[in-house]
Amino acid sequence: MSEAEDFLRVAHAAREAAAELAPLARAPKDAALRAVADALVARTEEIVEANALDVAAARESGTPETMIDRLRLDRERVAAIADAVREVADLPDPVGEVVRGGTLPNGLELRQIRVPLGVVGIIYEGRPNVTVDAAALCLKSGNAVLLRGSSSAYRSNTVLVKVMQDALAGTHVPAGAVQLVPGTTRDSVKHLMRARGLVDVLIPRGGASLINSVVEESTVPVIETGVGNCHVYVDADADLDLAMEILVNAKTQRPSVCNAAETLLVHAAVADEFVPAALARLAKEGVTVHGDERVASYGAAVVPATEEDFGEEYLSLDIAAAVVDTLEDAVAHIRRYGSAHTDAIVTRSQKAARRFVSLVDSAAVAVNASTRFTDGAEFGFGAEIGISTQKLHARGPMGLPELTSTKWVYTGDGHLRTSSGTVIAGA
């Protein structure tokens, strides 16, 4: 059987499973998720053994240790993955929630309710824990899922999906609701991206090149996630001590994630005081500053910034920095170079804060707080499938409700629409 035929087989299986899964109540879905969690724990050794082969292959091919660490699974990490599945089971079920509704003047009862998207395709890099996390979130929201992880984790993902399918086989949730896209070649990704009619939506999780490739080549609707060129703007009216703590936290608390700060903008009115102190503090934290000419004038260690630096998602202990003359200049910089993920202002001025919030067109805007809070768990959603930087359907951290669509249901009593208005049949 060819790779294309293999893909169609699993895609059709997911489509059929989605139809069975959509009407299920919360209880059987939660029971299925808990069965998956138990199975992951029970089959930990099998999972770890498969993962060890992936890790060995990655190390032999010269993969950096930071990436190998993202790939690696051990008993503790498998247990944490199982715990995360149980946490998803405990979350409220969004399916069937009434978004809005009421009774129309003609007596029709109208409701807009949440329904599953159908078949969700996830394309992601590196971490095999995403295989289980994504599957759990999709199942909880009533969706079947097609998973396409990186080739470096193919053995791990194959076993993880088999464990989940075996666990689901003993529940009311169809085992076909979780499928691994066959193959490790680029063609297998293309099959998923071109499966319009079989797949309802694609969600890419990874770096800019992956996301851009999926957006540009897919015929299936795409929800863009993840790329974060996040800014911290220190306003003329900022509390500079507070600004320093927010900057350091946003940049260094976990620099390899999409909500870490990648650019510092400082108002010229406070630059003489703030920039030298910030350069010293960032150097102490091991951060390399890529600055414009005005920032570079405050420190010999500043690396001259290029145009590319200001558009970079470093995901490392590097930050771009510039001095701006006005709040509007800061906003213009963010609009030019930012990724519409998260941008922060530090200021004591309510007027400046309101102005910044109204002008910055990003999924999340922080006022006197670190960019690191843009996260589903931090927002109280319990879990997230990713952080959307687009404007259609879902924006910001995507929890369970963002994995649903809606349908309109209206109920009458023999209501008929005529040229003269509504009549009730038999009345």
Task: Kindly report the CATH class assigned to 230-373.
Answer: alpha beta
Stated as kind and residue range, the H or E segment containing 251 is helix 240-252
CB-side neighbour CA atoms (13 Å) of 418: 9
Q: What are the domain boundaries of the chain?
A: 3-225+385-409, 230-373
**Contact (CB, 8 A) for 18 and 403:** no
d(CA 333, CA 315): 20
Handedness of CA 313, 314, 317, 319 (dihedral sign): negative
* Segments in the chain below pLDDT 70: 1
What length is written for the chain? 427
> What pLDDT score was predicted for residue 418?
93
> What pLDDT score was predicted for residue 1?
67
DSSP 176-224: GGEEEPP-SSHHHHHHHHT-BTTBSEEEEES-HHHHHHHHHH-SS-B--
**Contact (CB, 8 A) for 184 and 151:** yes
Fold designation for 3-225+385-409: Aldehyde Dehydrogenase; Chain A, domain 1 (3.40.605)
- pTM, rounded to two decimals: 0.88
Angle at the Cα of 330 (from 324 to 333), degrees rounded to 5?
Answer: 105
* Percent of the residues in the chain that have a pLDDT greater than 70, as a whole number: 99
> What pLDDT score was predicted for residue 47?
98
> What pLDDT score was predicted for residue 65?
84
Please indicate whether the domains covering 3-225+385-409 and 230-373 agree at the CATH topology level. Answer: no
> What pLDDT score was predicted for residue 70?
85
22-71: per-residue pLDDT in tens?
999 999 999 999 999 999 999 999 999 999 999 999 999 998 887 888 89
- φ and ψ at 367, to 5 degrees? -115, 115
